[in-house]
Amino acid sequence: MPLEWSGLSPDLLLVIDRDSGEPLRSQLELRLRDAIRTGRLQIGERLPSSRELARMLGLSRGLVQDCYAQLQAEGYLVTRVGSATRVAAGAGAPPAPTSPPSAPPRLVADFKWGVPDLSSFPLADWLWATREAARTMPTAALDYGDPRGNVALREVMAGYLRRVRAAAADPERIVICSGYAQGLGLALHALARTGVRTVAYEDPGSPATISSAASWAGLSAIPVPVDERGIDVQALAATDARAVVMTPAHQWPTGVALAPERRLALIEWARSRDAVIIEDDYDAEFRYDREPVGALQGLAADRVISIGTVSKSLAPALRIGWMLCPPALTELIIEHKQLNDRGSPTLDQLALARMIESGRFDRHLRRMRTTYAARRTTLVAALAEHAPEVRVTGLAAGFHAVAHLHGPADEQDLIAAAHARSVGLYGMSTCRSSHATEPVQLILGFGNVGERAITAGITAVGGLLRGRYPASQVRPTLGDDYPATTVRTCST
């Protein structure tokens, strides 16, 4: 696609050799022909004006005009009155034959996990916050600045995390990062510098992400099982790990909250082992059937690195996250951040600070809680009607559920059959360190799926599920523990 220019002429790199003995006009014609034939200049692309090109190359304007006239006569260029000189249609090299990219299949519903409602991104509020940030920021803010991030955002974020997550947040020990992946990498590199060699992670959890990040930092990664009360601290203590990556407020993907006694046991393990807990606080803002669960970092600020982002609360594309760092690791993490990218984009940081300060961020979260709660209700109702044998858990917070299927089945066959019915389903096997496909469980993300699409999607696969699995009297519900004729849909 040719570039569109307004006002000044575009730049164009051409090399003229005055010592070659070849006439300057011949050289210019040859360079322009080659640029067009090889595709450097594409069809319809604008060339500099004759006056500007003459100035850039140190040639006379008449010479350039003669060159343009010759190439126009040969069909390489086209000029219209009142318009710039452009590359003529058909003058460039013929494009290499390529098969058109196949469009992804249109799905009735795509229950992909980890994606918020992208259509509900508060664009008007973000534009307002960006304009306010640009209007009020000092000129000095345009410099590289503090690798920890802009102090205005760190101060606002500290107040927000103290208020909403009961965190022990100190602006001096907050590092702004470009999302969870960078935060995890910075944390693991800092731990490797302190002598840590093994990091544990929850199973099921995010084995691929954590194993890759650990390997990049020179560490080994080992799984530790999760049950209905969270990570098994005794199993963790039996390993040689001196760090663990976990999601205590809303375990990914099972949805359980780390039990209070295990929180205390985990902190005791960290202190006795001289270990560090990396807390992924990924979607704690969205809760429905239970009291808020504070950040683990608030109980042991000297042993926990807490990582949060706006990927679930606003949108992944913003690439803004934060790390609450223990005093002993703060300088190492800052050093790695400095070497990694010299700091995150300042204008985006200031825009987020304005969003939070103005109350627009909290207003957006309240609106999205209502939206996700309605979708959760729709999902449970659709399963109750079309697949009553499916047990559902993990619905007390966040925007995904775990569907437990009964009877003999093959996870991949089920996913393929659902895809043939234009429904995207995703299995638990990718979240297990062993990649085991049994017991068959599906992770149903409903963050980016509207209520009508949820109903249509479950309706489309309901018959598939009924035909594959024996029916029972178990029915989904939004309550707590129930007799055998109901389904538990809270976090456990």
Tell me the DSSP string of 232-259: -HHHHHTS--SEEEE-SSS-TTT-PPPP
- Indicate if 173 and 82 belong to the same structural domain: no
| Distance separating alpha carbons of residues 462 and 383, to the nearest angstrom | 8
Residue 318 lies in a domain: yes
- Indicate if 28 and 149 belong to the same structural domain: no
- Indicate if 83 and 128 belong to the same structural domain: no
- Indicate if 211 and 80 belong to the same structural domain: no
Residue 452 lies in a domain: no
Which of 359, 392, 416 is where one domain is finished? 359
Indicate which CATH number applies to the domain containing 57: 1.10.10.10
According to the model, what pLDDT value does residue 291 have?
A: 75
DSSP state of 114: T
According to the model, what pLDDT value does residue 172 have?
A: 97
Q: Are 282 and 236 a contacting pair, CB within 8 Å?
A: no
Instruction: With CA atoms as reference, report the closest residue to 187 among 305, 296, 293.
Output: 305
Scan for tokens 């001096």, then name that residue: 172
Q: Are 50 and 63 a contacting pair, CB within 8 Å?
A: no
Which of 62, 87, 112 is where one domain is finished? 87
> What single-letter amino acid sits at 484?
A
Indicate which CATH number applies to the domain containing 141: 3.40.640.10
309 SS3 class: strand
- Indicate if 132 and 71 belong to the same structural domain: no
Q: Are 41 and 93 a contacting pair, CB within 8 Å?
A: no
**Crossing angle, helix 180-193 and helix 327-341, to 10 degrees?**
120
According to the model, what pLDDT value does residue 464 have?
A: 77
The tens-digit pLDDT sequence of the chain (492 residues) is 444 444 567 888 999 999 888 999 999 999 999 999 998 999 989 999 999 999 999 999 999 999 999 999 999 999 877 778 999 988 766 666 667 777 777 999 999 999 999 999 999 999 999 999 999 999 999 999 999 999 999 999 999 999 999 999 999 999 999 999 999 999 999 999 999 999 999 999 999 999 999 999 999 999 999 999 999 999 999 999 999 999 999 999 999 999 999 999 999 999 999 999 999 998 878 888 767 789 999 999 999 999 999 999 999 999 999 999 999 999 999 999 999 999 999 999 999 999 999 999 999 999 999 999 999 999 999 999 999 989 999 998 899 999 998 867 789 999 999 999 999 999 999 999 999 999 999 999 999 999 999 999 999 998 777 745 333 333 343 433 322 333 333 333
pTM recorded for the entire structure:
0.86
- Indicate if 136 and 206 belong to the same structural domain: yes
According to the model, what pLDDT value does residue 10 have?
A: 85
Residue 461 lies in a domain: no
Domain tally for the chain? Answer: 2
Residue 418 lies in a domain: no
Give the structural domain span for 73: 24-87
- Indicate if 355 and 211 belong to the same structural domain: yes
- Indicate if 206 and 273 belong to the same structural domain: yes
Tokens of 214: 């650990």
| Distance separating alpha carbons of residues 320 and 175, to the nearest angstrom | 11
Q: What are the residues facing 231 on neighbouring strands?
A: 226
Which of 35, 65, 87 is where one domain is finished? 87
C-alpha dist (Å) from residue 271 to 75, 91, 331: 77, 72, 20
284 SS3 class: coil
Instruction: With CA atoms as reference, report the closest residue to 448 among 179, 114, 124.
Output: 114
Instruction: Give the CA angle between residues 431, 436, 441 to the nearest 5°.
Output: 65
